[in-house]
Amino acid sequence: MLVDARNLSLDLPDLGHHVFLGRRRALRILKNVTLAIGRGETVGIVGESGSGKTSLGRTLLRLYEPSEGQLNFDGLDITHKSPVALRPLRRRMQMIFQDPQSALNPRRTIGAILSGAMHFHHMSMPERAIAAILDRVGLPSGVLGRYPHQLSGGQRQRVGIARAISLNPEFVVADEIVSGLDASTQAQVLDLLSSLRSELGLALAFISHDLSVVRHICDRIVIMQNGEIVEAGNTEETFRTPKSAFTRELISAIPLPFPDAGWLDR
Amino acid sequence: MNPIVEIQNLSASSPAGPILRNVSLSVSAGEVMAIVGESGAGKSTIAKAILSILPASIVVTSGVILFEGQNLLTLPPKKMRELLGSRIALIPQDPLTSLNPARRIGEQLTDGLRRRAGLSRSDAMMKALELLNDVYIREPEQVLKRFPHELSGGMRQRVLIAQAFSLNPSVIIADEPTTALDVTVQKQVLRLIRQLQRTHGTALLFVSHDMGVVAQVSDFVSVLYGGKVLEQGPTEVVMRRPSHRYTRALLAANPRYDLPDKRLMPVPDDLIEELQREVSG
């Protein structure tokens, strides 16, 4: 397994707890989470707000340091590695953010954003390489000189994807990347993501609150509640025979696009 | 049945071009009319036009909005203010920014009751308790003393629903009321809105981008694109046997957990070109 998390726990300072001096009380954000993702595999991380799904994604990328447990990347124990020691690995693990509007620097052109990411990781970036990546994510080369605010939401998300894949990563965390988009744009971005992951053999952690989207794109899913994984399994089986009551509740709360007189009261 | 709100041939423009094109729709007492479309379709503009809160850059170029027979577009501002909140109410999208962060829930809920319904402070508090009970808030006495940030998103939305129904308006405009909520909370809130709307016989205009939500809460649907109503009819018919190609395309773009093998189809480019011609022609 490329990414292998065992019994991970994460404590973060409780920002709601005010102290005069000394340390803030810690909150346990993740509890005993075990999850492995192999190359070419897509795992959905599903939960409601506050379930810890985003924190899990960030911990898998070692943007947070686990408080307990062990995190391996490509066989290497990175649980407590220093930022400097992690740097050579950073190129290989990337993130696509929910809101590209705030994740892309508004004062830099798309060209500067893409070449900047490559430059940071000491990759040579002939213009041809950037043009090829733009083409790959379905953006016209004309966007290179434009700023993020001049693009549509769908185009910005394509830039977010282009930035992540331009570094040739092996592991990508996609955090709610289609949740702000119209259905049609969402379908396009999902289509792009699924062809890229098979082409590049990515290990993909797909974080979402939307079980319908997850069912379409993920091989396996984990359902999170209060920082814990309450159910994990193959996507088909989990939908067909959900084991936990919470999973059943989540599935039955999705409104389907045809009138069902009894649904609201069930 | 006489419509409570009847929009006839409403057109509106911004400096960038037309925003609404000849929109006609109506909603009667006890009915839910959904307005569905993608971003930029003009859904919220319709809601804002009814509430008379259009930004200065958007100008209504023609049409009327009849509310119980009178044209809201030509109503003096003072009369409009009297209607808003008491006869015409809003359930907004974002419950956090729609409540005053510096005032307790009790003060905000009793404001309208005291000023509009003329209740005394203690009667208004009694009524506020009753309202919170109606929206299934536990320990309502405690909640009345809280500030908005002390409540969860679902609780805040319930408070706003209570407020919207508090003066028993004839029509409520709900503008994407559950978009910011988790699915399980969304379902509870939708159930609540539908239930209160039925018991009060309120006319409800429900603005949403979500075909699933619309299918479950509405009696009628208007499908909007580029400021134009492309299809309108009973929800049952529009959702199960859509007549417009765009409605079918929207349904095809939506992922379905019950149809895992369905291929998600974006709205095709040729259809978008066709639509652009259709709405501007």
Give per-residue pLDDT as tens, A153-174.
899 999 999 999 999 999 999 9
Kindly tell me if the per-residue pLDDT of A17 is higher than 80: no
pLDDT value of residue B198: 96
Site from B32, B94, B179, B183 to mutate, A interface, most A CB atoms within 10 angstroms: B183
Provide the shortest C-alpha distance from residue B187 to chain A (in Å).
Answer: 6
Identity of the amino acid at A27:
L
Cβ contact B267–A249 (<8 Å)? no
Q: Least CB-CB distance to A257: which of B184, B254, B265?
A: B254
Q: For residue A264, what pLDDT is reported?
A: 93
**pLDDT for the residue numbered A163:** 92
- The residue type of A254 is I
Search chain A and give the residue with CA nearest B215: A259
- Residue of chain A nearest B241, judged by CA positions: A258
pLDDT band at A15 (very low <50, low <70, confident <90, very high): confident
Taking CA A89 as the corner, what is the angle to CA A87 and CA A90, rounded to the nearest 5 degrees?
A: 65
Q: Does B39 touch chain A (CB under 8 A)?
A: yes
Of B212, B257, B264, the CB nearest to A187: B264
pLDDT in tens, chain B (281 residues): 689 999 999 999 999 999 999 999 999 999 999 999 999 999 999 999 999 999 999 999 999 999 999 999 999 999 999 999 899 999 998 777 889 999 999 999 999 999 999 999 999 999 999 999 999 899 999 999 999 999 998 999 999 999 999 999 999 999 999 988 899 999 999 999 999 999 999 999 999 999 999 999 999 999 999 999 999 999 999 999 999 999 999 999 999 999 988 889 999 999 999 999 999 87
Predicted confidence (pLDDT) per residue in A105-115, tens digit: 999 999 999 98
Confidence (pLDDT) at A67: 97
Residue B105, min C-alpha distance to chain A (Å): 21
CB A227 within 8 A of CB A51: yes
Quote the CA–CA distance of B237 and B235 in Å, as a whole number: 5
A257 contacts B215? CB cut-off 8 A: yes
Cβ of residue B234 closer than 8 Å to a chain A Cβ: no
Q: Is B269 on the interface with A (CB under 8 A)?
A: no
Is the CB of residue B249 less than 8 Å away from at least one CB of chain A?
yes
Give me chain A's average pLDDT, please. 93
B21, B11 Cβ separation under 8 angstroms: yes
Nearest residue to A59 (alpha-carbon basis) of A50, A51, A49, A71: A71
The pLDDT > 70 percentage for chain B reads 100
Q: What pLDDT, on a 0 to 100 scale, did the predictor assign at position B95?
A: 73
pLDDT at residue B139, rounded to an integer = 93
Contact between A62 and A80 under an 8 Å Cβ cutoff? The reply is no
Tell me: pLDDT of A116 over 90.
no
Determine the average pLDDT of the residues in A30-58: 96
- Best residue in B152, B179, B257, B259 for a mutation probing chain A (most A CBs within 10 Å): B257
Q: ipTM score of the complex?
A: 0.90
Is A215 close to B190, i.e. CB distance below 8 A?
no
pLDDT digits (tens, 9 = 90+) for A61-97: 999 999 999 999 999 999 999 999 999 999 999 999 9
Check residue B78 and give its pLDDT.
Answer: 94
Quick check: A22 pLDDT over 80?
no
pLDDT (0 to 100) of residue A123: 78
Radius of gyration for the alpha carbons in chain A, expressed in angstroms and rounded: 19
Residue ranges in chain A assigned as alpha helix (H): 53-60, 83-90, 100-103, 110-120, 127-136, 153-165, 183-200, 211-217, 235-240, 245-252
Classify the phi-psi angles of A169: left when phi > 0, otherwise alpha if psi is within -120 to 50, otherwise beta.
Answer: beta
CA-based nearest residue to A224, from A29, A93, A27: A29
What would the pLDDT profile of A195-229 be if each residue is shown by its tens digit? 999 999 999 999 999 999 999 999 999 999 999 99
| CA of B77 vs chain A CAs: smallest distance (Å) | 36
B253 touches chain A (CB under 8 A): yes
A216–B235 CB contact, under 8 Å: no
State both tokens at B116. 């509009």
Residue B90: CB atoms within 10 A of its CB come to 24
* pTM, full prediction: 0.92
Task: Give the number of A-B residue pairs with CB atoms closer than 8 Å.
Answer: 108
- Which of A258, A265, A266 would you mutate first to test chain B, the one with the most B CBs within 10 A? A258
Residue of A nearest to B220 (CA): A259
With tokens 């259905």, the residue in question is A183
* Amino acid at position A43, single letter: V
Q: Rounded mean pLDDT of A5-20?
A: 87
- Chain A's closest residue to B216, CA to CA, is A259
